Chains A and B, each alone.
Chain A
Amino acid sequence: MSSAVATHDEHHDHGPAKGILRWVFTTNHKDIGTLYMTTALIMFLVGGAMALVIRAELFAPGMQFVDPMFFNQMTTLHALVMVFGAVMPAFAGLANWMIPIMIGAPDMALPRMNNWSFWLLPFALILLASTLFMEGGAPAAGWTLYPPLVLQGGAHLPFAIFSVHLLGISSIMAAINIIVTAFNMRAPGMTLMKMPLFVWTWVITAFLLIAVMPVFAGAVTMLLTDKFFGTSFFNAAGGGDPVLYQHLFWFFGHPEVYIMILPSFGVISMIIPTFSRKPLFGYSSMVYATASIGFLSFIVWAHHQYTVGMPLAGELYFTYATMLIAVPTGVKVFNWVSTMWKGAMTFETPMLFAIAFVVLFTMGGFTGLMMAISPADLQYHDTYFIVAHFHYVLVPGAVFALFAATYYWLPKWTGYMYDERLGKLHFWLSTISVNLLFFPQHFLGLAGMPRRIPDYATQFAEFNAWSSVGAFVFGFSQLIFVYVIIKAIRGGEKATDEVWEGAHEHGLEWTLPSPPPYHTWTTAPEIK
């Protein structure tokens, strides 16, 4: 094998192809990583714009801007775009860029499949967006697409479902690639328990993806046959069961939320040690905790359905199982805090975002624990308390981890330091506004405001106004992020190989030049 690689290199020591075709035909993991992340950034802005439509309408009581039907379409598309268009591709992009470099591999294991798994994505997203322009508009049934509601209405259904199929195929292929790469392409001496945590968390995530994406694809296909081929999977009048869809959906949907957060855990576990100048506390318990969370995520799905009328025993089982997730999650938070303890911390932008992640994600975790308790959840369910909870784990959680990762590795990717002052401005604006945006929603939910309503009773007016102001500040702050990235790509202060002081102790990527050559690790590094 190694000799074959050597001869290959002699003949093809080339850089990227020229022009647009570089991006179309590329099998280079760095190019594909860049494509993924660029798509994710664009989709983050598109999905964010949809959220701003929602928040603009909710700024004051009364209907001001959009029809309730369009409001529902925005709700559905905002969620689908953010989940499948922004967060998941962003993490896939990070995985593509960093995993081969971190484990000392020359590229991903299946580079041609890698190209394909990326290129399905933009077409799937265009298909999804096209439903907006169809008669009857886009799907308007939440991101869960519950029947019978989703079966009502116009031509959007088959397009939305085929889009979901393509997105799922893309994710599964990316997941396969990551697993094969991490298991087969590690440099000699890198045992599994020496693998960087970001790689570990992605491997576990990839297994979740492969396990649950087909279930989701199956469920939406059943919707399709119910609508067009006269089956009655979810139609009670034909002997079917609408709740069956919910079980299938959440069997996918619950692990899906961990698919969006586990790689964040990996990112944060890389960043905090670097800026604390200390090794990560409890590496092996981090690995076991991540694996336990992955396992538990499969057996708790019906906690999304406490109100459908499950048997008491089922209700209690899902309560207990869900509460258990707090244990490994707690271990992770305690380990991060212990890593900071007695470190010599500095607070560059990636570290700031990482600290905000730990604080705010933990708050989302607390509310998660509260809603695990089924009797209390009977009150929280489908209110703004839930909206606040999952946005705390997904925005200052997943999205902040992505910001942290971008600032952390941007000098490595581009070869130039980003503008630290603008980075910090982005951090402070985002952190303050994200709390103004989502914290009041806890109160709204507890006071009785249901989710997904386009208009509300007047006692909810103040907190909604605050929340909308927070949303707009948060939204526009992201333009700073875009500007910082573009600026760093175009030039600036040259980044050293190590980038961050002492970083070389925290990963192979810091032993490479910044930016790394187009083909890295043509000779595998040695791991001690």
Chain B
Amino acid sequence: MKKIRRLLAGFGLGAWGAAHADYALNMTPGVTEVSRDIYDLHMLILWICVVIGVGVYGLMIYSIMHHRKSKGVVPAQFHENTKLEIVWTVIPFLILLGMAIPATSVMVKAYDTSGADMTVKVTGYQWKWRYEYLDEGIDFFSTLDAKSNEARQLGASINPTSVPNYLLDVDNPLVVPVNKKIRFLFTGADVIHSWWVPALGWKKDTIPGFVTDAWAKIEKPGTYRGQCAELCGRDHGFMPIVVIAKTNEEYKQWVAEQKAKAEVVKAEATKTFSMDELMAKGQEVYNANCAGCHQPNGEGIPGTFPPIKGSPVATGSMDEHLNVVLKGKGDMMPAFEDSLNPADVAAVVTYQRNAFGNNKGDMVQPSEIKLQ
């Protein structure tokens, strides 16, 4: 009942763009100048369409009510009126002109990526995003968070409504400062994805072999969520985007934390792990990176994704196994040398060789992994 009331309220008021609660019914006005311009443009065209619609439907309804045979109407026989036909060709043309002018100015603004304060490179992978801060040297991957990932499995017993921000949370969000012009560069690593955060006002395809750009100057600190918008394979529905806009000071603090984290990863690359440590870490890495295709139980999907359980790769030579994980294989198995650090690779390979009933008993240390 509450929903219906909200819906009716939305019909009446939502279109005015007054309340924020209308997000579920209408486009978001967003948090950048361009996104607000786009929102206004959207509302302008919507209203023009509504007015034309009321006119056309009004005439139709009048005819249907009054010009019916059961009322004893004798049909008129006119079937041509050149003047009228010219009028309804020219007037719509002028209306279109009235829409094209503001549309052009918004498009010109949206395309102007010059004079940016910082640049973030976004690369689409099946099925995660890589964010590189070109000025800071920060580089990380962002995937669906573990809770959503667990709940979204076929036949999972977790109720999606109990998961906060179901399918819209990631492990590593993109963090950016407010009131800075950020230039985004987009490219794809395997197939075409599309990076879309509605609050920023645009979406951009990430295409392998091409680099395109767009920009945003976020005006309000906050968390803004989006999703991949281009069909990119099995887990297309599961590669969300989270952008956290912070004040300049908080952002600087975050940058410092990231740099400290990078040091830890560097140290891990030379550390010697125990079997238990590798297995625990390996399970985490597996669930984040491998379970999407090979399934959490390692059984794969027959005909599409091979199983890890009993697989000749996971039970064969260690070198071959590492090679497949690092370099990928065929069309479907991506190369993980970019997205995983040596400790992750060592852990996940060890995990795959000793979990799901695979009983190799061997392990590999991060120091033995050579990344490019």
Determine if A236 and B24 form an interchain contact, defined as CB atoms under 8 angstroms apart: no
Nearest-CB distance from A72 to chain B (Å)?
A: 7
**B69: chain A residues within 8 A (beta carbon):** 277, 344-346
A281 close to B229 (CB less than 8 A): no
Name the B residues within 8 Å of A135 (CB-CB): 303
Segment from A17-25, A210-218, A319-327 that makes contact with B: A319-327
B165 within 8 A of A: yes
Taking the complex as formed, is B196 at the interface, i.e. its CB lies under 8 A from any CB of chain A? Answer: yes
Cβ–Cβ contact B191 & A379, under 8 A: no
The answer to whether A373 and B103 have CB atoms under 8 Å apart is yes
Interface residues of A in 234-259 (CB under 8 A from B): 235-237, 240-243
A4 in the interface (beta carbon within 8 A): no
User: Out of B103, B190, B196, B198, which one reaches A319, CB within 8 Å?
Assistant: B103
A152, A235, A345, A382: the one within 8 Å of B64 (CB): A345
Interface centre among B93, B228, B237 (most CB of A within 10 A): B237
Q: Are A378 and B209 in contact (CB under 8 A)?
A: no
Question: Which residues of chain A are near B110, meaning CB under 8 Å?
Answer: 375, 378
Among listed B54-62, B115-123, B350-358, B360-368, interface-contacting one: B54-62
A315 touches B107 (CB 8 A): yes
A428 at the interface (CB under 8 A from B): no
Identify A462's interface contact among B3, B108, B203, CB under 8 A. Answer: B3
Closest to B157 in A: A62
Residue A458, interface by CB 8 Å: yes
A379 to B203, CA, bound (A): 7
CB < 8 Å neighbour of B108 from A72, A308, A312, A346: A312
Contact status B107-A374, CB under 8 Å: yes
Contact between B160 and A379, CB atoms less than 8 A apart: no
- Tell me if A344 and B67 are in contact (CB < 8 A): yes
B212 within 8 A of A: yes
Q: Does B32 reach chain A (CB closer than 8 Å)?
A: no
Contacts of A345 in B (CB 8 A): 63-64, 67-69
Contact B167 A308 (CB under 8 A): no
- Determine the chain B residues whose CB is within 8 A of the CB of A146 once the complex forms: 191-192, 230-231
B81: A residues at CB distance < 8 A: 281-282, 338
Q: A153-B332, A312-B111 are in contact. Are A355 and B64 (CB under 8 A)?
A: yes
* Given A149-B191, A451-B229, A459-B24, also A355-B60 (CB < 8 A): yes
Inter-subunit contact A373/B59 (CB<8 Å): no
In the complex, the answer to whether A447 meets B75 with C-beta atoms within 8 Å is: no
CB distance from B308 to the nearest CB of A (A): 17
Q: Which of B39-47, B279-287, B316-324 contacts A (4 or more CB under 8 A)?
A: B39-47
Closest A residue to B202 by CB, please name it: A378
Q: Cα distance A359–B234 when bound, in Å?
A: 37
Cα–Cα distance between A359 and B230 once the two chains are bound (Å): 31
Give Cα A141 to B10, complex, Å.
35
A327 CA to B94 CA, complexed, in Å = 10
B344 in the interface (beta carbon within 8 A): no
- Tell me, rounded to whole Å, the shortest Cβ–Cβ distance linking A40 to chain B: 27
Min Cβ gap B56→A in Å is 6
Q: Which residues of A contact B80 (CB under 8 A)?
A: 281-283
Residue B132 interfacial (CB < 8 Å):
no
Q: Is A127 an interface residue (CB 8 A)?
A: no
Could you tell me the distance in whole angstroms from the C-beta of A413 to the nearest C-beta in chain B? 25
B231 touches A451 (CB 8 A): yes
Interface 1/0 per residue, B65-84 and A, CB below 8 Å: 00111100111111111001
Question: Which residues of chain A are within 8 angstroms of B198 by Cβ–Cβ distance?
Answer: 379, 448
A316 within 8 A of B: yes
Question: Contact residue range for chain A?
Answer: 35 or more
Would you call B331 and A243 a contact (CB within 8 A)?
A: no
Q: Which of A80-88, A162-170, A328-336, A390-398 contacts B (4 or more CB under 8 A)?
A: A328-336
Complex contacts, A459 vs chain B, CB 8 Å: 24
Q: Does A204 contact B (CB under 8 A)?
A: no
CA distance A148 to B190 in the complex (A): 7
Q: How far is the CA of A319 from the CA of B227 in the complex (A)?
A: 25
Q: Does B275 contact A (CB under 8 A)?
A: no
- The smallest beta-carbon distance between A240 and chain B, in angstroms, is 8
- Residue interface bits A438-453, CB-to-B below 8 A is 1, else 0: 0000010011101111
Chain A residues 260-287 with CB under 8 Å of chain B are 276-283, 285
Q: Is B253 part of the binding interface, using a Cβ–Cβ cutoff of 8 Å?
A: no
* Besides the known contacts A149-B192, A312-B108, A382-B229, 18 further A-B residue pairs in the complex with CB atoms under 8 A apart: A68-B236, A72-B236, A75-B231, A152-B331, A276-B67, A280-B79, A309-B207, A319-B103, A340-B64, A375-B37, A375-B106, A379-B201, A450-B236, A450-B237, A452-B237, A453-B227, A454-B237, A458-B160
B residues near A (Cβ < 8 Å) are: 3, 10, 23-28, 34, 37-38, 41-42, 45-46, 49, 52-53, 56-57, 59-60, 63-64, 67-70, 73-81, 84-85, 88-89, 92-93, 96, 99-100, 103-104, 106-108, 110-111, 151-156, 159-161, 165-168, 186, 190-192, 194, 196, 198, 201-205, 207-210, 212-213, 226-238, 301, 303-304, 331-332
Which 7 A-B residue pairs are closest in the complex by CB-CB distance? A236-B209, A309-B212, A453-B237, A279-B79, A366-B49, A382-B229, A342-B76
Q: What residues make up the interface of A, taking CB atoms closer than 8 Å to B?
A: 61-64, 66-69, 72, 75, 134-137, 140-142, 146, 148-149, 151-154, 235-237, 240-243, 276-283, 285, 307-309, 312, 315-316, 319-320, 323-324, 326-327, 330-331, 333-335, 337-347, 355, 358-359, 362-363, 366, 369-370, 373-376, 378-379, 381-383, 443, 446-448, 450-459, 461-462
